[in-house]
A and B are shown apart, each in its own frame.
Chain A
Amino acid sequence: MDLGPFLFLATLEGLVSAAVLALTAVGLGLVFGVMRVVNVAHGEFFMLGAVVAWAVTNLMPGAPALGFVAALALSPLAAALVAIAADRAILRRLDYAPEAVIVATIGLGYILQQGALSLYGPEARAVAAPFSFRIQFPWFGYSGYKLAVIVFAALVLTGVWALLTRTKIGLVMRATQWDRETATAFGIDTDRVYALVFGLGAGLAATAAVLVAPISQAHYLMGGDPLLLSFAVVIIGGLGSLRGTVIAALLIGLTDGIVGVFFAPTLGKILATLLVALVLVFRPQGLFGRKTA
């Protein structure tokens, strides 16, 4: 294959990675942005999404598309409900103290991971794609499902943006993000806002996992890479910046895809890590973040 088509293929692969990564990282960034806590269990909510997607698609009779649509609705809901329960049972009792939440979510992640191992097993299992057609380019054919993943992720991200900027609940979330105490003094039940945001963050990770499950299978250890890459994206983009998160996800996803196709997949991860290190040294608030006092 010539360089041009090869680059095009690599770019498409990179966009798929970027789309999934953006969804996952926006969930992590939203939780940090509003609640000022780092959710180390975020990768396990991703895993939970894929595992529940496998269960739903296997339990649902009829066409694979039907099962997949059900999974796309139920997996994020399940992850969100687990997250809300964890928020009420654990994080709220810790009064969202940042250091304590890190330790607690390490434990929560471990519980989710071992729970999946016990109930789901150690195997990597395939999740059927809702459809399987190839789009034929002049140089190669490409999975229609992967292109659909890009479009769907873009739609969900647009929805998150609209939620934050165009709705009352988004306004309330942004006010809480800025100053929790003053938000409380204006009648905002910030405990409920936190539970909602923690659930939304987990739900976004689970949505990303459902989308990627037909491409990469569901496995109880699949949460590690999304967590690390999400941290990279959120650090590069700037904590609390939706725009920065999406742009950084594109940067990392495309780098990962293109370098991975042309050279070696590991080199893409090395470059992403190097970029994180450079951002931390030269612009700790991230490319689109604001300096904090």
Chain B
Amino acid sequence: MSLTVTNLHGGYGAVAVLHGIGFTVAPGEVLCLMGRNGAGKSTTLKAIMGLVRATSGEIRLDATRLDTLPAHDVPRAGVAWVPQGRRLFAELTVAENLEIGLLTRQSPPEVRERALELFPRLRERLTQASGTLSGGEQQMLAIARALCTEPRVLLLDEPTEGLQPSMIALIHDTVVRLKATGVATVLVEQRVDAALTVADRIAFVDRGRIAATLPAAGLDRSAAEFREWVGV
């Protein structure tokens, strides 16, 4: 399924953050949103999830309008969100966090098994409160919980933030494996290397709109776009 965001405006109350942002992500494609802090990357993901109300514009999952659905129906339509900072249900166990994911679309237990195959370490922690996991394990759980919803579109908001290199590699490997299954992925990333490693295209976000979209293959870390739109 393709996700298409068209001319989206929105924000928090009277504070407008998105000023006509638009992009399309195809099945099996990884689109990376890059930009400075406050550019509107995370707000875009929240708007897709219905957690920030769009004031105008459209969000479509194939033909289905997402922006007119109640927020709790967006994940049921097949969009999963891995929020910045993980936002696990910290008092709930690992198994209970995964169960919440399964309940989203009434998925069978095999879906959880597939998610655990990606992150076997979580299997040893099923009865542990998720708030007591290490940072890397928490990120694994945040992704596994999202995968338990059987998403066709995955929104990843800075999934490697604060992680050690081995864990970053694992997360990247997971994104690539999911891409092979046909999941359309929108990745918010601040690190140029990470973006170049996993993304097919990079969309530079500036003041709530897309300033430029380029194929990742045509870029290297010294490209002027990174200096101009990301500030690195």
Contact = CB atoms under 8 A, between A and B. Distances in A.
Interface residues of A, number: 17
Contact of A175 (B50, B72, B76, B89): B89
Interface stretch (A70-78, A101-109, A182-190, A278-286): A182-190
B104 A187 contact: yes
Interface in B88-102: 89-92, 96, 99-101
B149 A187 contact: yes
Nearest to A178: B89
B49 interface: yes
Contacts, number: 63
Interface string B32-74: 0000000000000000011100000000000000000011111
Given A187-B103, A187-B149, A182 B91 contact: no
A174 interface: yes
B125 interface: no
Contact of B87 (A168, A171, A182, A188): A182
Contacts of B81: 185
Nearest to A182: B87
Contacts of A186: 75, 100-101, 103-104, 145, 149
A181 interface: yes
* Residue of A172, A175, A178, A186 ringed by the most chain B CB atoms within 10 A: A186
B100 A171 contact: yes
Chain B interface residue bracket vs A: 20 to 34
B83 interface: yes
Interface in B130-184: 145, 149
Interface string A177-221: 011011111111110000000000000000000000000000000
A240 to B, nearest CB: 10
B91 A172 contact: no
A185 B105 contact: no
Contact of B75 (A168, A172, A187): A187
Nearest to A192: B72
B100 A185 contact: no
A189 B70 contact: yes
B149 to A, nearest CB: 7
A178 B72 contact: no
Contacts of B101: 186
A186 B87 CA distance: 12
A216 to B, nearest CB: 37
A185 B83 contact: yes
Contacts of A175: 89, 92, 96, 100
A187 B72 contact: yes
A189 B50 CA distance: 13
B35 to A, nearest CB: 22
A178 B130 CA distance: 12
A188 B75 CA distance: 9
* Residue of A174, A179, A182, A190 ringed by the most chain B CB atoms within 10 A: A182
9 contacts: A174-B89, A174-B96, A182-B83, A184-B51, A184-B72, A185-B71, A186-B104, A187-B75, A190-B72
Shortest beta-carbon contacts, A-B, top 4: A187-B104, A178-B89, A187-B75, A182-B87
Given A185-B75, A186-B101, A188-B72, 11 more contacts: A168-B103, A171-B92, A172-B100, A172-B103, A174-B91, A174-B96, A175-B89, A184-B49, A185-B81, A186-B100, A187-B73
